[in-house]
Amino acid sequence: PVLPGPFFMPSDRSTERCETVLEGETISCFVVGGEKRLCLPQILNSVLRDFSLQQINSVCDELHIYCSRCTADQLEILKVMGVLPFSAPSCGLITKTDAERLCNALLYGGAYPPPCKKELAASLALGLELSERSVRVYHECFGKCKGLLVPELYSSPSAACIQCLDCRLMYPPHKFVVHSHKALENRTCHWGFDSANWRAYILLSQDYTGKEEQARLGRCLDDVKEKFDYGNKYKRRVPRVSGPGPGAG
């Protein structure tokens, strides 16, 4: 029998402009098919302004990143909002997922973060793996990675507090989730990724097998995820137990 072909949803021609943050820069975007599509010219002129088009195209080819063109209505909105000049004939859109992959590859070589502060670099020599102050964690994004989380180093949203077990460099949580030394899954269809949602991607290592140990370290990881969560988006799996309830004797 002839098998039916894949089902394709009609294209989403959303004209509702919103904004997102990429590498500290505010970028205009449209939500298309459930994912943010970012204005490519804005990215090229801000986040990636120090790179040539040849460098950018080369990385896009390597990572199999493809951009779409915005519709006439979307283009008009970007012009009216002052995002693009009125003379712009067209505008490329790139998914938030691919924008993160592209920027990570160009800005950090796909492996190395910005230079660590001296006090953080010194922590590399503390024997974190053997220390009770660290928690083994991992993520499964873009090739996967294992690391050591040091809760006491998470002093700000961008503090480097996770040490990669491969290169031993320190990363902030939102950078750790795009860091990997393995195959980058270049031919995988990536969708819906946003490094701002790192709390959902960083998981407790499966090396911990004891129930008590899992519970204790799970609470420790939850405590870190709750810090600086200004939008209160993270919900811990097990409610915090603060003490005996009313009437406990």
Give the domain ranges of the chain: 17-108, 118-226
> Residue 145's closest CA among 121, 109, 169?
169
Residue 194 structure tokens? 């946003």
Establish whether domains 17-108 and 118-226 are of one fold.
no
pLDDT category at 96 given cuts 50, 70, 90 is very high
- What single letter denotes the amino acid at residue 119? E
Q: Which residue has the higher pLDDT, 19 or 179?
A: 19
Query: Where is mean pLDDT largest: 106-115, 161-170, 178-187?
Result: 161-170
57 CB neighbour count, 10 Å cutoff: 11
Pick the range with the lowest mean pLDDT from 85-99, 121-135, 194-208: 121-135
Confidence (pLDDT) at 202: 95
Q: Does domain 17-108 correspond to CATH entry 2.60.120.380? A: no
φ and ψ at 124, to 5 degrees?
A: -65, -25
Distances (CA, A) of 161 to 78, 124, 136, 165: 38, 11, 12, 13
φ and ψ at 147, to 5 degrees?
A: -155, 175
8 CB neighbour count, 10 Å cutoff: 6
Pick the range with the lowest mean pLDDT from 42-56, 83-97, 116-130, 156-170: 116-130
Q: Which CATH superfamily is domain 118-226 in?
A: SAND domain-like (3.10.390.10)
> Residue 183's closest CA among 137, 142, 147?
142
- Judged against a pLDDT cut of 60, whether residue 181 lies above it is answered with yes
Residue 203 structure tokens? 């998981």
Sign of torsion over alpha carbons 92, 97, 99, 101: negative
Query: Where is mean pLDDT largest: 80-84, 97-101, 139-143?
Result: 80-84
List strand residue ranges (DSSP E) for the chain, in order. Answer: 17-22, 25-32, 35-39, 68-69, 92-95, 135-139, 145-149, 162-164, 170-171, 203-204
pTM: 0.65
pLDDT category at 246 given cuts 50, 70, 90 is very low
- Judged against a pLDDT cut of 80, whether residue 136 lies above it is answered with yes
Tens-digit pLDDT profile for residues 143-180: 789 999 999 999 999 898 998 988 888 889 998 998 88
What is the spatial distance between Cα 173 and Cα 155, in angstroms, rounded to a whole number?
12
- What single letter denotes the amino acid at residue 164? C
